[in-house]
Amino acid sequence: MSEPPRRTMTPIPATAPRRRFLGQAGALLAAFTLTPHLARAQGTTFVAVRAWPAEDYTRITLEANQPLHFEYLFVPDPDRLVIDLPGMSIDEVLKSLPDKIAADDPNIHGVRIGQFRPDVVRVVIDLKRQAEPQIFTLDPVAQYRHRLVIDVYPKTPRDPIEALLAELDGKRAATSPTAASSGPSATPDLTASAPPRTKGVPAKARASGGAPYVIVIDPGHGGEDPGAIGRFGTREKDVTLAIARRLKRIIDAQPNLRCALTRDGDYFVPLGERVRRARRAQADLFVSIHADAVASSGPRGSSVYVLSNRGASSTTARWLANKENQADLIGGINLGQQNEHVAKTLLDLSLTATMQDSAQLGRHVLTALGQVNTLHKRDIEYANFAVLRNPDVPAILVETAFISNPEEERRLKDPKYQEKLAQAILKGLQRHLETTAPTPRLLIAAREGRG
Ligand SMILES: [Zn+2]
């Protein structure tokens, strides 16, 4: 595709690196320049603007009543993104955007807005660090109208999993005799093949050869995707994060366990990325935390789901999996970046042993949950949840309680009850590890000399 003209852009020095258009941006730009009358679509107004700051990436969402057209440019020194929105005028909704950028946003200094031309709004995003932006549009879905999404990823990504790996690297450096001595292997490295130390290590850790089990906890939903909303306004994404953080605290307090969260903030992580993070962290177990919702307020109780390729164990399970799998649509993913991964994951699903492990893990967790809540069903259930499609990591999805049941909604918000749920899930995880005693993946990786 030849470079379309950029008449609306301020000239930038010829030597300046200019970002390529990513994802759908190029296509949309072309549509705009080829059919400029589209730019004058009448009556397009902003409906809402939102900002979701996170260490992972910062998302800015502009929502309008009709599709937004845009072109954008990267301008260095100081680094900023310039986004022009033809056919738009500044209004009160858009004016509220700069105030929504938090001072401690890791990726963005701030946002400036101007009426660049009578028919073009210019949004300038001042960047805090080197960025890899993705800009794309989303069609209306669920409660949202037309969205323009600006995702500002740091050029050097750092997510909760990286933090865990860095922490484990540090621990190994601190405890490994080879790391303490001088020599070529002094750098902390999970791939180092130093013999596991057993002296002074608690019995449980000894059983796992000194390496901890890595538990990846996945707080469902986040950011643009609130998940289910209770009658009193409790949002599933907040409850899942609260329970997941409690779980992390008590898991990390165990000598033989380490926990990583797939998200640790109010932002959206695509389902495929959650799966990828579990793999990168060498997860031994994966637990996705959710809260159920149905139209009526009666149903209650905890449920545990495991993956099934063949079909769901009930129509409710199938319905629920479809609902949870919609997270990517609501949370908003750049399809241009995701398809490849999804196709690949589906291909690798040869899962029998993992599915048996998942089922056993699920039963242990369900039993433990039965001590702190009613069980919705007596046994685990099966359905095709995208977030559980991980070829070799035992994985379960816990529907902690029904957020659509007013009594359970109240309990889900209660910190004491959140702690009880977390304790029960931990108990189930521990039972599973005690009965199966798998070799920690970190240890396997170290023995095989790969990270
Ligand atoms: Zn959910």
Residue range 119-138, pLDDT digits in tens: 999 999 999 999 999 999 99
- What pTM was estimated for this model as a whole? 0.79
432 CA from centroid of ligand 1 (Å): 24
Domain with CATH 2.60.40.3500 in the chain: 25-154
The neighbourhood of ligand 1, an ion, using CB within 5 A, equals 220, 227, 290, 324
101 CA from centroid of ligand 1 (Å): 27
Segment 87-116, tens digit of pLDDT? 999 999 999 999 999 999 999 999 999 999
262 CA from centroid of ligand 1 (Å): 14
Segment 219-263, tens digit of pLDDT? 999 999 999 999 999 999 999 999 999 999 999 999 999 999 999
Pick from 412, 446, 451, 395: which is nearest to 166 by CA? 451
Q: What is residue 146's three-state secondary structure? A: strand
176 CA from centroid of ligand 1 (Å): 41
- Residue 20 confidence (pLDDT): 36
- Residue 160 confidence (pLDDT): 66
Confidence of residue 173 (pLDDT cuts 50, 70, 90): low
- Residue 205 confidence (pLDDT): 44
323 CA from centroid of ligand 1 (Å): 8
Contact 428, 366 (CB under 8 A): yes
344 CA from centroid of ligand 1 (Å): 24
183 CA from centroid of ligand 1 (Å): 49
Pick from 444, 439, 286: which is nearest to 361 by CA? 286
325 CA from centroid of ligand 1 (Å): 9
Is 80 exceeded by the pLDDT of residue 74? Answer: yes
Q: What is residue 5's three-state secondary structure? A: coil
364 CA from centroid of ligand 1 (Å): 21
Confidence of residue 157 (pLDDT cuts 50, 70, 90): confident
Alpha helix (H) residue ranges in 86-159: 92-95
Contact 263, 363 (CB under 8 A): no
7 CA from centroid of ligand 1 (Å): 45
111 CA from centroid of ligand 1 (Å): 32
Q: Give the architecture-level CATH label for domain 25-154.
A: Sandwich (2.60)
Q: Which of 45-59, 330-344, 368-382 has the lowest mean pLDDT?
A: 330-344
397 CA from centroid of ligand 1 (Å): 9
Phi-psi region of 64 (alpha: psi -120 to 50; beta: other; left: phi over 0): beta
382 CA from centroid of ligand 1 (Å): 15
230 CA from centroid of ligand 1 (Å): 12
- Residue 355 confidence (pLDDT): 86
Distance CA 157, CA 18 (A): 21
Specify which residues 229 forms β-bridges with.
Answer: 235
385 CA from centroid of ligand 1 (Å): 11
219 CA from centroid of ligand 1 (Å): 9
Distance CA 137, CA 150 (A): 9
Alpha helix (H) residue ranges in 260-334: 271-280, 315-325, 327-331
**Which amino acid is residue 224, in one-letter code?**
E
293 CA from centroid of ligand 1 (Å): 8
Q: What is residue 338's three-state secondary structure? A: helix
Is 70 exceeded by the pLDDT of residue 349? Answer: no
Q: Helix 335-347 and helix 271-280: axis angle, to 10°?
A: 60
Q: Which of 298-312, 338-352, 398-412 has the lowest mean pLDDT?
A: 338-352
401 CA from centroid of ligand 1 (Å): 11
Segment 410-442, tens digit of pLDDT? 999 999 999 999 999 999 999 999 999 999 998
- Residue 420 confidence (pLDDT): 98
Pick from 393, 398, 408: which is nearest to 368 by CA? 398
Pick from 35, 31, 26: which is nearest to 1 by CA? 26
370 CA from centroid of ligand 1 (Å): 20
- Residue 442 confidence (pLDDT): 87
Confidence of residue 31 (pLDDT cuts 50, 70, 90): very low
- Residue 210 confidence (pLDDT): 75
CA distances from 156 to 56, 62, 370 (A): 10, 26, 43
- Residue 195 confidence (pLDDT): 37
388 CA from centroid of ligand 1 (Å): 13
Distance CA 199, CA 179 (A): 17
Is 60 exceeded by the pLDDT of residue 64? Answer: yes
Domain with CATH 3.40.630.40 in the chain: 160-447
Instruction: Determine the average pLDDT of the residues in 275-290.
Output: 93
405 CA from centroid of ligand 1 (Å): 15
Is 70 exceeded by the pLDDT of residue 13? Answer: no
Distance CA 301, CA 450 (A): 43
236 CA from centroid of ligand 1 (Å): 7
340 CA from centroid of ligand 1 (Å): 24
Contact 410, 231 (CB under 8 A): no
Segment 300-314, tens digit of pLDDT? 999 999 998 777 888
Q: Give the architecture-level CATH label for domain 160-447.
A: 3-Layer(aba) Sandwich (3.40)
Pick from 258, 262, 217, 265: which is nearest to 238 by CA? 265
Contact 72, 83 (CB under 8 A): yes
Element (H, E) at 15: none
